[in-house]
């Protein structure tokens, strides 16, 4: 792994993978939906503007119109896309080694020189409304959004990434433009690449592409001058501790939709990025709901046949987190599944895990991590998330050592920590038939 | 690529990938949902039995119970799953190189020695009913199933792979067992692997695992005797030509569901496997709806903002196929999107594609194929689909030569062939608001 920090603040990280014939490159901007201002009087429609902006960056620069951007990637068969998360935005492409330079050039042009044409803005509003409509029809997705809102309460991390149909209908080009101008600069940009990549050459390509940027805010790259910008102060997150603003008691939230299944989410505030218990949590989560042999899968699916899918997960952010269990089940069995899920978490909180489970989880983490790291896209993303998150990037071996150092008591304790926090249940579907009550 | 055919009929195909540290191995059985008997008097519930059986093979053998099978994969962090398609069933695992032998052993035990315990059968019935309920809540999935049924008419390829809640509630263990005993034997089994794999060693491992199989139908492996089995005669497919039993006129089928979006599928019978026009179709499909720069994406999403997703696809089977266009849009714009989609296909049928589009499509196919072939799972699947399908496996270069040999007139002609076939439209969602009529 190699890392270069340019005087302007721009960071470039690469990981060369011997034998790879392709590479994945991503331009990451350290800004996400949490950074939007919900209550700015002058920008009522700013929620969803980070994601709106991500779409607009595909719509053209002075050098390339939208069609030219699309053809630049299609003509080389690139796997090209972008994603907006709560704390970052990413534009990426996976390409054959010979196509890396051209991908970097187009991505850099998109990110630094977007025109945000007013006509394209209106057309894209329609596309985003369709994207939100598609998400609204996906009831597992709806359950997930409502669950994050319920667990994180009023915290900006609790908001849906894409905004709502109302905020998108109200979005103004000026707000999105202000977001773009105020947030996209050399200090927030992290370029990562993995696979068939040469670090020095990539740094050179990135600098050359950025030196050509039209907007003044990129001139520090050319001038080798540091960007001085106010660092946004993040609000304290309610997920980090049970006493910081999240819901104080157990809550059940029901959302009625025409459906066959009830989409259930059960959980609470989780661990923030870099939390010392994150390795213990990883093992606990594998045993609780991380595979076919996990307790949730065995209890809910294999023994009782109540669900096709049942798993647990953690999501971590700079100052908060979410822990959750998902299961899809019939209306008649939803209340039973909620009880079973909580009982399995309590079971680990009270009795810990077996030695066999402990050993199996370590093997599972070692094997699945090794497989994941064979993909250049996984490595590219890991570099960026570490750089934008805790700043700590462990090698696979160092990370496995940390997992191996976790004690059985650490695992029991992290389960107890989560089991003791106020419990949120979200159900989406034909909820009247479930017997669940708010 | 290496291929070994054992005297029993068992086939093993491998592709060694230099530098790979992991491998994907799959046990493929040349039997799918199309082979089920819809109208056997003695097995009214046999529809969905291929998929039911796939689930049951995870439930235990005399040597390994269900939990042991699950832990065998989880403890090494394998990416392990199975899939049932219309013409084959596959059980696979992606593992680190050192874990390949153990994965082969467990997969072989599952496939050859399943107990199909009556108690497990009942529990799994519940899991499959939940899987069907989950699919019924996914309206894009519903549109896809109804579209295949509508295009292929009464042909067995037109049926949903998983059966229906009714056939699953009516399924009997004896039917599934008969399916297992009648179809799983050395003549229908194809083992493929790619990545860090040594052909001779894999053949040895597979033979050793199969020689231990309990059931008589596997004894030809031990005895090196050919399996003589009746080859099922496939019904002629209506997809292969417009005059062989498929719907003779244009049809529109509407399915009302509570939803924000209308899930639209527009299309007709497509090309069967091995059709001489398949390379021309690949280029036509890339230009019509194969990427961000494709005509459908540009016209429906980029110019008009009517959809988040719009693409075209082909699905090919031994004696039939389907060609389709998918788009998700609002109820008010559904009729317009149906017209736009058809107009784009007609546009190519009448005017062909431009030289720039032709060249771009060739580049896209070359680039995306090269990227796909870096994954051992893609290569493993390609080997098996070729073996079970046409029997022809082209190298990437040979395949690109075939694409390069396609003329502009071939591309126009294949679009005209599809545009002239009777058009099927399926819409799922709040269809009353669309203005579409059956």
Q: What is the pLDDT of residues A125-173, one digit of tens each?
A: 999 999 999 999 999 999 999 999 999 998 999 999 999 999 999 999 9
Average pLDDT of chain A? 93
- Whether residue B42 lies within 8 A of chain A, CB to CB, comes out as no
Residues A32 and A170 in one domain: yes
Domain count, chain B: 2
Q: Is residue B328 included in any domain, yes or no?
A: yes
- Which residues of chain B are within 8 Å of residue A293 when distances are taken between CB atoms? 67, 70-71, 74-75
Query: Quick one: which H or E segment has residue B4?
Result: strand B2-5
Residues A211 and A289 in one domain: no
CA of A211 to nearest chain B CA: how many angstroms apart?
28
Residues B341 and B207 in one domain: no
For residue A232, pLDDT over 80 is answered with no
CA of A429 to nearest chain B CA: how many angstroms apart?
9
Cβ atoms within 10 A of the Cβ of B300, count?
29
- Position B124 scores a pLDDT of 97
Q: Which domain holds residue A341?
A: 251-433
- Whether residue B95 lies within 8 A of chain A, CB to CB, comes out as yes
Condensed to tens digits (0 to 9), the pLDDT of residues B379-411 reads 999 999 999 998 899 999 999 999 999 999 999
pLDDT band of A212, cuts 50, 70, 90:
confident
Condensed to tens digits (0 to 9), the pLDDT of residues A93-121 reads 999 999 999 999 999 999 999 999 999 99
* Closest chain A residue by Cα to residue B134: A261
Q: Is residue B244 included in any domain, yes or no?
A: no
C-alpha to C-alpha distance for B156 and B291, rounded to whole angstroms: 31
Select the residue of B125, B360, B375 nearest A71 (Cβ to Cβ): B360
Residue linked to tokens 């080009």: A173
For residue B235, pLDDT over 50 is answered with no
Cβ-defined contact of B371 to A95 (cutoff 8 Å): yes
Residues A255 and A309 in one domain: yes
DSSP per-residue codes, B31-97:
--GGGS-TT-TT-TT-TTHHHHHHHHTTSB-SS-BHHHHHHHHHTTT-EEEEEE-SS-EEEEEEEEG
Look at residues B246, B320, B323 and name the one whose alpha carbon lies nearest to residue B284: B323
Structure-token pair, residue A374: 């064979």
Condensed to tens digits (0 to 9), the pLDDT of residues B134-147 reads 999 999 999 999 99
Q: Is residue B72 included in any domain, yes or no?
A: yes
8 A C-beta contact, residue B120 and residue B67: no
- Position A239 scores a pLDDT of 41
Q: Is residue B237 included in any domain, yes or no?
A: no
Q: Is residue B159 included in any domain, yes or no?
A: yes
Cβ-defined contact of A368 to B304 (cutoff 8 Å): no
Which ranges of B153-277 does DSSP label H, i.e. alpha helix?
A: 165-170, 173-183, 199-211, 219-223
C-alpha to C-alpha distance for A291 and A311, rounded to whole angstroms: 8
Q: Is residue A126 included in any domain, yes or no?
A: yes
Averaged pLDDT for residues B257-261: 97
Q: Is residue A224 included in any domain, yes or no?
A: no
pLDDT band of A227, cuts 50, 70, 90:
confident
Residues A201 and A256 in one domain: no
- Which residues of chain A are within 8 Å of residue B293 when distances are taken between CB atoms? 67, 70-71, 74-75
- Position A235 scores a pLDDT of 45
C-alpha to C-alpha distance for B388 and B240, rounded to whole angstroms: 19
- Whether residue B187 lies within 8 A of chain A, CB to CB, comes out as no
- Which residues of chain A are within 8 Å of residue B66 when distances are taken between CB atoms? 302
Pairing of strands A189-195, A310-317: unpaired
C-alpha to C-alpha distance for A269 and A417, rounded to whole angstroms: 10
8 A C-beta contact, residue A112 and residue A27: no
Q: For residue A60, what is the DSSP state?
A: B
Cβ-defined contact of B305 to A126 (cutoff 8 Å): yes
- Which residues of chain A are within 8 Å of residue B131 when distances are taken between CB atoms? 308
- Whether residue A401 lies within 8 A of chain B, CB to CB, comes out as no
Select the residue of A305, A328, A364 nearest B134 (Cβ to Cβ): A328
- Position A67 scores a pLDDT of 97
Residues B255 and B364 in one domain: yes
- Whether residue B259 lies within 8 A of chain A, CB to CB, comes out as yes
- Position A242 scores a pLDDT of 42
Cβ-defined contact of B365 to A294 (cutoff 8 Å): no
- Position A364 scores a pLDDT of 98
Residues A297 and A410 in one domain: yes
- Position A229 scores a pLDDT of 66
pLDDT band of A177, cuts 50, 70, 90:
very high
For residue B260, pLDDT over 60 is answered with yes
8 A C-beta contact, residue B348 and residue B284: yes
pLDDT band of A240, cuts 50, 70, 90:
very low
C-alpha to C-alpha distance for A103 and A115, rounded to whole angstroms: 19
Condensed to tens digits (0 to 9), the pLDDT of residues B325-343 reads 999 999 999 999 999 999 9
Residues A201 and A255 in one domain: no
Question: In angstroms, what CA-CA distances link A182 with A174, A248, A388, A414?
Answer: 12, 36, 18, 39
Tell me the residue ranges of DSSP E strands in A120-249: 189-195
Residues B201 and B345 in one domain: no
User: Catalytic one among A15, A36, A54, A344?
Assistant: A54
pTM of the predicted model, to two decimals? 0.94
Condensed to tens digits (0 to 9), the pLDDT of residues A366-414 reads 999 999 999 999 999 999 999 999 889 999 999 999 999 999 999 999 9
Orientation angle between helical segments A408-420 and A355-372, nearest 10 degrees: 90
Condensed to tens digits (0 to 9), the pLDDT of residues A24-79 reads 999 999 999 999 876 555 555 589 999 999 999 999 999 999 999 999 999 999 99
Residues B263 and B153 in one domain: no
Residues B183 and B293 in one domain: no
Averaged pLDDT for residues B431-437: 95
Cβ-defined contact of B131 to A308 (cutoff 8 Å): yes
- Position B179 scores a pLDDT of 87
Look at residues B142, B117, B233, B231 and name the one whose alpha carbon lies nearest to residue B185: B231
Phi–psi pair at A333, nearest 5 degrees: -110, 5
Residues B99 and B173 in one domain: yes
For residue B106, pLDDT over 90 is answered with yes
Look at residues B185, B142, B193, B139 and name the one whose alpha carbon lies nearest to residue B164: B142
For residue A305, pLDDT over 90 is answered with yes
Q: Is residue A240 included in any domain, yes or no?
A: no
Q: What's B119's domain CATH number?
A: 3.30.830.10
């Amino acid at each position: 792994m190699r890392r270069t920090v340019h005087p302007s603040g721009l960071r470039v990280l690469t990981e060369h993978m011997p034998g790879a014939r392709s590479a994945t490159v991503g331009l990451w901007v350290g800004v996400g939906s949490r950074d939007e201002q919900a209550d700015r009087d002058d920008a009522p429609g700013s929620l969803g503007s980070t994601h709106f902006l991500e779409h607009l960056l595909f719509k053209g620069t002075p050098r390339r119109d939208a069609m030219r951007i699309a053809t630049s990637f299609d003509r080389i068969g690139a796997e090209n896309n972008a994603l907006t998360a709560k704390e970052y935005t990413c534009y990426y492409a996976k390409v054959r080694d010979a196509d890396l330079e051209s991908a970097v050039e187009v991505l850099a042009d998109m990110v630094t020189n977007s025109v945000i044409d007013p006509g394209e803005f209106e057309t894209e509003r329609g596309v985003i409304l369709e994207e939100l409509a598609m998400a609204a029809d996906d009831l597992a997705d709806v359950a997930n959004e409502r669950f994050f809102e319920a667990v994180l309460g009023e915290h900006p991390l609790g908001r849906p990434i894409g905004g709502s149909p109302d905020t998108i209908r109200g979005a103004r080009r000026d707000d999105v433009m202000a977001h773009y101008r105020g947030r996209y600069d050399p200090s927030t940009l992290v370029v990562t690449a993995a696979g068939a990549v040469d670090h020095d050459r990539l740094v050179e390509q990135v600098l050359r592409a950025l030196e050509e940027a039209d907007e003044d805010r990129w001139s520090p790259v050319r001038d080798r001058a540091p960007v001085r910008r106010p660092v946004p102060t993040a609000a304290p997150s309610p997920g980090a501790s049970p006493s910081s603003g999240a819901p104080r008691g157990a809550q059940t939230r029901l959302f009625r939709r025409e459906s066959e299944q009830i989409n259930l989410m059960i959980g609470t505030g989780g661990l923030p990025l870099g939390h010392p218990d994150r390795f213990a949590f990883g093992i606990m989560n594998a045993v609780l709901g991380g595979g076919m042999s996990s307790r949730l899968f065995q209890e809910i699916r294999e023994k009782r046949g109540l669900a096709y899918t049942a798993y647990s997960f953690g999501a971590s952010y700079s100052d908060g987190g979410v822990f959750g269990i998902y299961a899809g089940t019939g209306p008649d069995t939803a209340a039973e599944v909620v009880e079973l899920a909580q009982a399995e978490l309590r079971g680990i909180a009270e009795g810990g895990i077996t030695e066999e489970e402990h050993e199996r989880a370590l093997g599972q983490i070692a094997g699945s991590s090794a497989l994941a790291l064979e993909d250049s896209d996984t490595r590219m993303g890991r570099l960026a998330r570490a750089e934008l998150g805790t700043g700590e990037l462990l090698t696979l071996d160092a990370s496995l050592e940390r997992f191996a150092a976790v004690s059985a008591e650490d695992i029991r304790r992290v389960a107890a920590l989560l089991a003791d926090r106020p419990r949120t249940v979200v159900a989406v579907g034909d909820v009247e038939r479930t017997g669940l009550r708010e």
